[in-house]
Structure 1
């Protein structure tokens, strides 16, 4: 007879929530799938369950609980304090409101979240970047570290830890710093031609790790490299 702990799909709601907090990375991922199957039970536990997480952090367990409710129990989501404005805190050193970004990520509207991220990066780069519609790599070092951290935290929290600048940075490190090996994951075709549509880029949770947010690399990798090397992000990688 086989012994040992039953698979996560057989665990009770309290055990699933505990494993989502303290389990290994692999356990957390399997628990995420199992937790979605008991969304009705989760709706009665969510307020208490979220107390295990900090709104100042980027623990994706909290983001996933919120996303499950958004998918299956939206009325229960409305009862959670602060969710309408964003459960995770969104500090900014220059007065940018990231509520729309957090709401887009909560609703898994990743294309909209990507566009909001690009807009925020232009604002952080300054008026000239806003007017021209894109950011120069030379404008990145002066960007506010707090804001880049906020953007990164939100992407991580609402993607099961799969998307975000620091996710891309860690992935690049495992690939020996070779951008040509990273490109297929972030939307480049094999011939180096960038495309958002139709099939190269995916706006969903099932996209490859590190797939989002998009960074315009039509002019090479210098912009992305500058972002990933920014002290505010490098310290989180």
Structure 2
């Protein structure tokens, strides 16, 4: 049995274990480790002592490594980043991003139940992360407040602990689960598994975040387990029973997401987010026969996008609405409305004609103060290139007013006014509430602005 100790060097001295373990679960144990050559901290997860003494330890370790390699392919701001697999003697470890923060469970325990708006912020972030995972034909299967970390001093939730991750196509699964958050199908050795499996757990997590105080008063720590509801006829009190301030819409969405049988449950995370009111309705499709550019004042589009609403909002100086409209038209042009974000490949292939139209509208109606070309000029003026230089990125954030006092702002703190600093807008499409993580996306976008000669 191998347990790494504080101060122990592993992987030929590359890492040094720091303090006691960060946490231990049914399968794994996670350590905090320092890489002396870079000064960076990492989290390293291995199979725990219980797993190490099992007769099938070698087989379990192979599964552990394969799962880690699957997760390594995930690249999303609200999913814990996995970097590599290392070996120390007979034990393999998964090197992951270290997050200095607390779990949503700890946060709710210390602060008390969350307001509806704050709870929905985190559920939306984790919901979009789950949609990303489901698009890759994977299930998380262990969504709960304890498996969601909040970055310190930031309203950013990160999904962790993928120890139960499985392919959606897998019909037979281990019956490991967390009571109160696991749907009924996870109590069965064989069952019907799908995106709705994670929907139940996500809805139960929201249930807890909004009712933690009420649950605590009645001596409960989780929602009523699905097993009790199904076989003991124990009812699930509606969330409003514990917290009268919960809106009826959110109350009903939670209950539908926690239906016992899968066929009655909200089928997808996207639908659950829609029921919660978190999804902007898909943008109108481009007109099949758009008016010629000459008739539309030069609102050119290579894909037939209609920019009249964007133009009109800009003319009226409705800067926040314009920022949201900009995001929606860009997603529509790239055919990424469902996903809600653009990757580098979408940015690199974004039509120059459309990019130019959007930018020219911003520049014209802001009198040259806002626009992609304005932001690119400021960034390059600071020495910025497509290389990811964090120092220049911070200086850029300071210059355009996206940082104050050395800290990145949240989207809610953005100034939607012409009095804002030069280059302050547009900003919403870049990343919403994960400003510090926008670097790769924005720098790649500025490169596309340069390529299109804006």
TM-score (norm 1): 0.57
Structure 2 vs 1, CA of residues 121 and 144 (structure 1 numbering), >3 Å: closer, same or farther?
same
* Alignment match, 1:210: 423
Instruction: Give CA-to-partner distance per residue, 1:41-63, whole Å, 9 cap, x none.
Output: xxxxxxxxxxxxxxxxxxxxxxx
> 2:376·2:449 contact (CA, 8 Å) conserved in 1?
no
* Alignment match, 2:159: none
RCO greater where, 1 or 2, for CA within 8 Å and sep 6 or more?
1
SS in 2 for 1:197: helix
> 1:187·1:211 contact (CA, 8 Å) conserved in 2?
yes
* Alignment match, 1:122: 331
CA distance in structure 2 between the aligned counterparts of 1:161 and 1:213, rounded to whole angstroms:
13
Structure 2 vs 1, CA of residues 99 and 186 (structure 1 numbering), >3 Å: closer, same or farther?
farther
Which structure shows the higher helix fraction? 1
Deviating beyond 6 angstroms after TM superposition, the runs of 4 or more aligned structure 1 residues are none
* Alignment match, 1:235: 453
- Is the radius of gyration larger for structure 1 or structure 2? 2
CA distance in structure 1 between the aligned counterparts of 2:334 and 2:355, rounded to whole angstroms:
11
* Alignment match, 2:393: 179
Deviation at 1:148, TM superposition (A): 0.3
Deviation at 1:194, TM superposition (A): 3.8
* Alignment match, 2:320: 111
Q: Which runs of 5+ in 2 are unaligned?
A: 1-294, 385-391
Q: Which runs of 5+ in 1 are unaligned?
A: 1-85
CA distance in structure 2 between the aligned counterparts of 1:191 and 1:151, rounded to whole angstroms:
31
The yes-or-no answer on 1:223 pairing with 2:405 is no
Deviation at 1:231, TM superposition (A): 5.5
Deviation at 1:137, TM superposition (A): 2.3
* Alignment match, 1:132: 339
Deviation at 1:218, TM superposition (A): 5.1
Structure 2 vs 1, CA of residues 171 and 119 (structure 1 numbering), >3 Å: closer, same or farther?
same
> 2:402·2:408 contact (CA, 8 Å) conserved in 1?
no
Which is worse superposed, 176-185 or 187-196? Answer: 187-196
The yes-or-no answer on 1:166 pairing with 2:384 is no
CA distance in structure 2 between the aligned counterparts of 1:104 and 1:233, rounded to whole angstroms:
28
For 1:53-202, what aligned pairs fall within 5 Å after superposition? 88-126=297-335, 129-177=336-384, 178-184=392-398, 185-198=400-413, 201-202=414-415
Instruction: Give CA-to-partner distance per residue, 1:41-95, whole Å, 9 cap, x none.
Output: xxxxxxxxxxxxxxxxxxxxxxxxxxxxxxxxxxxxxxxxxxxxx9742110001
SS in 2 for 1:140: helix
* Alignment match, 2:388: none
Instruction: Give CA-to-partner distance per residue, 1:122-153, whole Å, 9 cap, x none.
Output: 12222xx2111111222111111100000000
CA distance in structure 2 between the aligned counterparts of 1:101 and 1:205, rounded to whole angstroms:
16
> 1:105·1:113 contact (CA, 8 Å) conserved in 2?
yes
CA distance in structure 1 between the aligned counterparts of 2:416 and 2:297, rounded to whole angstroms:
22
Instruction: Give CA-to-partner distance per residue, 1:99-127, whole Å, 9 cap, x none.
Output: 0100111000011111011111112222x
CA distance in structure 1 between the aligned counterparts of 2:297 and 2:318, rounded to whole angstroms:
17
Deviation at 1:188, TM superposition (A): 3.3
> 1:188·1:195 contact (CA, 8 Å) conserved in 2?
no
